Structure 1
Amino acid sequence: MLIAHLSDPHLRPKGYLYQGLVDSNAMFALALDHLAGLDPRPDVVLLTGDVVDEGMAEEYAVAAEMLAGIGLPLLVIPGNHDERDGFRACFAGHTYLAKAGPLHFAVGDLGPVRIVGLDVTVPGEHYGAVYDEASSWLDSVLAAEPDRPTLVMMHQPPILSGIPYIDDYNCRGGDRLAAVLARNRQVERVLCGHVHRFMQTRFGGTMLITAPSTTTAIALRLRPDAEPASFLEPPAMVLHHWTQPSGLVTHYVPIGRFPGPYPFF
């Protein structure tokens, strides 16, 4: 089973630039073009939030138009830049999404790997949170299939990256989430976005991965007094490949056209 993981496109209304500088729509179009060229084709695409930048209806219209031709199963979870009702309306045809409240879900009919979405967004805030209700829901859902390899996708990571200006807006309640994961050892990965960088670390007895943004990269500045900044680094996506008996292997995949292929390895 091949699982493509994209995040944080920050789509804008037609004719507008992200932060007034970057054509995030064009960059997401390049990402979708790269996705369409993958061989073999992914079995499912995961989009871990900040689909749009300001939660505007005009932005969600762009998102709906761009994703309409993807031709692959798509699972989505909102981020802090998404507006929950607008997000729900944009993806109204995605019947796995709840009609009210948090947009948690569990999907198990796309292949051997089960995919669980945990909506950790707090409306009106940029940080995320795992409260008792969400942790209880996740614990119950995971306990229903304890032997099934599972991915949990969410937006804000429940860890500290070391980048001070993004860590102010991480997912709170990480200890609560880690305790749930420690009881459910079938979780192969926790998949996040938000940081606009690729990271991996141990968390709750499993691996946590953040996908880079398809638009900009938050600067890797690890001093506690670092000034916030971003760069136009090469965009990328992540591929998660499940096989037997190897299990899940994660690949970082730059987006674009590069010299090659050459006849050596």
Structure 2
Amino acid sequence: MDETALTLLAQLSDTHIREPGQLAYGRIDTAPYLRDAIASIGRLPQRPDALVITGDLTDFGSAAEYAHLASLLAPLGDMPVFLLPGNHDERKQLRQSFPKHQYLGDGEFIQYSVPVGTMQLIALDTVTPQSPMGNLCSQRLEWLEAELDKQRHRPVVIAMHHPPFRTLINSMDHYGLQSGAAELETIVSRHPNVERIICGHMHRSIQVRFGGTIAATIPSPAHQINLDLAANAPLMWTLEPPGYALHALPEGGRMVTHQIASSVFEGPYPFRS
């Protein structure tokens, strides 16, 4: 395969960076985990064309947290990095802290459409200020449909924080997308060039068929949501192995998504003694 014809989009999510030295939930320093994930991206045999981070970049959306995040992303060098707010972020501070990221715009929502190699990355804002729950109003959905109409002849990846589907982890679904999922699915079903809907929020790898494509969440590079499908299961987190995703699109082909563990492991070794 000609690697020059392969477009690679790395995806991180739910980094939850705090000020240096502070622990999330009084137990976990998320910064070293993100540092490991960035190093893992740097070790990939093929360098991604871009990185997108699908929300909850920080824990409280403060200037100090975003400054810490910027320092942790610095080893990526000139790799394009696209940021998307989650329910733990603050739109205004995000824009102020990353002034060179002009795609963040200055409107009510942080939504944008940018080319990444042979694909188009369309970011959709699901944030409801001061709430862990997400929403998609008619204004945001109308913007999306207009952007999709412009990109009918180009493979599209839609990025958003809250997943537009039930995950069956009820404690998290309670804090999920409260409106707009059905309307989004109708819009997506009219655009068969949508290769993926990539989401965060869930701190786990979860996939579902949605609108004729695949919608999925990915692990956090730090802590994960505990997997318990009981209706009354409490909301808890674990230190299961962290990770991220790599979305690979061969020219003229179908997107393939790889989940990657972001720790350091032995190998690779050849299959011979």
State the alpha-carbon separation in 1 of the partners of residues 259 and 151 from structure 2: 29
Does the residue aligned with 2:208 lie in a helix, a strand or coil? strand
Equivalence map 1:49-128=2 (5 Å): 49-71=55-77, 72-108=79-115, 110-128=116-134
Q: Which amino acid aligns with 1:224?
A: A
Aligned to 2:213: 206
- After the TM superposition, which parts of structure 1 deviate over 2 Å for at least 4 consecutive aligned residues? none
Task: Tell me the matched-pair count.
Answer: 264
What is the alpha-carbon distance in structure 2 between the residues aligned to residue 210 and residue 92 of structure 1?
Answer: 28
Question: Any idea what SS the aligned residue of 1:143 has?
Answer: helix
Matched, 1:192 2:199: yes
Q: Does 1:240 align with 2:253?
A: no
Alpha-carbon distance between aligned partners in 2 of 1:254 and 1:67, rounded to the nearest angstrom: 18
Task: Find out whether 1:148 has 2:154 as its counterpart.
Answer: yes
Distance 1:246 1:135 in 2: 28
Structure 1 partner of 2:267: 260
Give 1:131's aligned residue: 137
The TM-score with structure 1 as length reference comes to 0.97
Give the 5 Å matches for 1:157-236: 157-172=163-178, 173-236=180-243
What does residue 3 of structure 2 align with? none
- The answer to whether the 8 Å contact 2:18/2:58 transfers is yes
What per-residue deviation string (whole Å, max 9, x for no partner) do you get for residues 7-33 of structure 1? 101001011011110110111111111
The TM-score with structure 2 as length reference comes to 0.94
For the pair 1:35 / 2:32, whether they are aligned, the reply is no
* Structure 2 contact 118–251 (Cα < 8 Å) conserved: no
Note the alpha carbon deviations across 1:26-65, whole angstroms, 9 max, x for none. 1111111111111111001010000000112211110122
Residue 96 of structure 1 aligns with an amino acid whose one-letter code is Y
Partners of 1:203 and 1:147 in 2: CA distance = 20
State the SS of the aligned residue for 2:246: strand
**Structure 1 gap ranges (5+):** none
Alignment counterpart, residue 249 of structure 1, candidates 238, 246, 256: 256
Provide the secondary structure at the position in 2 that maps to 1:96: helix
In the alignment, the residues of structure 2 paired with residue 41 and residue 60 of structure 1 have an alpha-carbon distance, to the nearest angstrom, of 25
Deviations 1:161-208 (A, max 9, x none): 000110011112200111110111111000000000011111111100
Query: What percentage of aligned pairs have identical amino acids?
Result: 38
The CA deviation at 1:68 is 2.8
SS at match of 1:247: coil
Cα distance, 1:246 vs. partner? 3.2
Return the alpha-carbon distance in structure 2 between the equivalents of residues 58 and 74 of structure 1: 19
**Structure 2 Cα separation of the partners of residues 195 and 106 of structure 1:** 24
Q: CA deviation at 1:100?
A: 2.6
Shift of 1:69: 3.2
Distance (whole Å) between structure 1 residues aligned to residue 98 and residue 228 of structure 2: 35
CA RMSD of aligned residues (A): 1.2
Contact 2:13 2:54 in 1 (8 A): yes
Q: Partners of 2:210 and 2:98 in 1: how far apart?
A: 30
Q: Where does residue 15 of structure 2 map in the other structure?
A: 9
Letter in 1 for 2:20: K
- What's the counterpart of residue 4 of structure 2? none
